[in-house]
């Protein structure tokens, strides 16, 4: 019986340390996570090449929305103007709008990302911390189990060395 006390205590201590690490990461007085989130550099995520690729990915949606706007919405909102707009004008207007949107898209995405990051950082403790903590505890379960077994093996090694002396 006494042979298993040290390994079991060592295993429980290893599991507890892994669990405590996650709890401290999300603790109310631990500002480490908030500081790390605020240190994320948005500029590194959105450069000229990625912005162009992202814009091209949403281009079909923008085109469909502009088409819907010019063919349906503008007639509802401004009936006088809709009488003067034909299919050729709609194609020209869409081209102008898409060109303008492609030039402002990187700035818009960067601004939206920066404000989203600030809002996330501001609401981290009250809104996001409980959600993230539960997900991180669930995803690190295997690490805690591995820590338990490493602690158990370490305890057996210590126990073996103690009885050799």
pLDDT tens, residue by residue, 46-92: 666 677 788 788 888 988 888 888 888 887 887 787 777 778 888 88
Q: Taking residues 83-112, what's their average pLDDT?
A: 84
Using a 10 angstrom Cβ sphere, with 0-12 exposed, 13-18 middle and 19 or more buried, the burial of residue 151 is buried
Closest CA to 10 of 146, 144, 150: 150
Q: How far apart are the first and last CA of the chain?
A: 19
Question: How many helices, marked H, and strands, marked E, lie in the chain?
Answer: 9, 0
- Specify the pTM: 0.57
Structure tokens of 83? 């009488």
């Amino acid at each position: 019986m006494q042979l298993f006390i040290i390994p079991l205590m060592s295993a429980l201590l290893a599991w507890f340390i892994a669990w405590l690490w996650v709890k401290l990461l999300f603790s109310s007085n631990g500002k480490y996570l908030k500081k790390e989130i605020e240190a994320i550099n948005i500029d590194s995520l959105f450069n000229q090449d990625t912005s162009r690729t992202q814009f091209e990915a949403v281009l079909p949606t923008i085109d469909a929305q502009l088409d819907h706007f010019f063919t349906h919405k503008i007639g509802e909102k401004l009936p006088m103007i809709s009488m003067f707009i034909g299919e050729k004008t709609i194609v020209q207007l869409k081209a102008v709008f898409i060109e303008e949107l492609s030039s402002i898209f990187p700035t818009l995405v960067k601004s939206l990302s920066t404000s989203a990051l600030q809002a996330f950082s501001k609401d981290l403790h009250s809104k996001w911390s409980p959600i993230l903590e539960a997900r991180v505890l669930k995803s690190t379960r295997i690490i805690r189990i591995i820590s338990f077994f490493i602690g158990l093996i370490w305890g057996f090694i210590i126990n073996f060395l103690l009885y050799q002396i």
